[in-house]
Amino acid sequence: MFDYKKLFDLSGRKALVVGAGSGIGEASALGLAAHGAHVLCGDLNLETAQRVADSIRSTGGSAEALTIDIRDSAGVVKAIDTLPDLDVLVSTPAINVRKPLLDMSDEEFDRVISLNLKGTFRLITSAGRNMAKRGRGSIITFASIRALTVEPGQGVYAATKAGVLQMCRTLAAELGPLGVRVNAIGPGVVDTPLTAPIAANKEWYDAYAKKSALGRWAKPHEMAGAVVYLASDAGSFVTGTLTIVDGGWTAVDGRFTPPL
């Protein structure tokens, strides 16, 4: 008989979280470790990655830190190849340049594409090759609600997140027969370093809060549940999906509540 108590148990599994030094990546690392995974906290900033790994170990978890720059193709392959027994990959890094498309320079376009889209491509394909050899694994990337719905000034960012989603779906189709699952998570507005410029503007912050059905921003830890679900046996028949975690943002029509 299937043991339902172990659906979310990650004991004995090794997970690499890239972008683990802050925000959603940090929350993902903490969530996976809390459910028993040995977590490799990867980040461009080794100091912040080490802080998260130390935090995990201080509560009895298992973790270590490493430097990884997803803009460096050879570096990504080298890092992933040192982890032939990797069970879970979580990719969270992203940048944004908020500008109308008509004002966007080639350099700015390339900078966002290089990190958000090409960086994710490097990670998921490198991990996918190794997982395919083992016949199992779960790859989780962070897309965004911007993969589905946009606003002025986010054209290139939205394009990368739509691209991340479609790459995940394609890789899910290609690696499914080999036992590897690939999924994306689409957060709404989350209080992270990436959204700090918005949070600093009260009118902007409040407008975003009111847009969601729950009337507030998300905290990073509220993304961890979806990560653990997709990494664990609870999501064993889930692949090629976009799991929306947006407080109802994409479900609610418009920014005006009519009198009823």
- 3-state percent breakdown (helix, strand, coil) of the chain, nearest 5: 50, 15, 35
Phi, psi of 136 (to 5 degrees): -165, 165
Look up 205 and say whether it is catalytic. no
* Active-site choice (157, 205, 208, 229): 157
Kindly state the helix (H) or strand (E) to which residue 129 belongs, with its residue range: helix 120-134
Question: Are 66 and 79 contacting, i.e. CB atoms less than 8 angstroms apart?
Answer: yes
Whole-number Å distance between alpha carbons of 56 and 17:
13
Q: How far apart are the first and last CA of the chain?
A: 51
CA atoms of 72 and 204, how far apart (whole Å): 35
Q: Which residues have a Cβ under 8 Å from the Cβ of 73 and sit 6 or more positions away? A: 122
Of 221, 193, 196, 191, which Cα lies nearest the Cα of 209? Answer: 191
CB atoms within 10 A of CB 236: 11
- If residue 210 lies in a helix (H) or strand (E), which one and from where to where? helix 202-211
**Catalytic positions, written as ranges:** 157
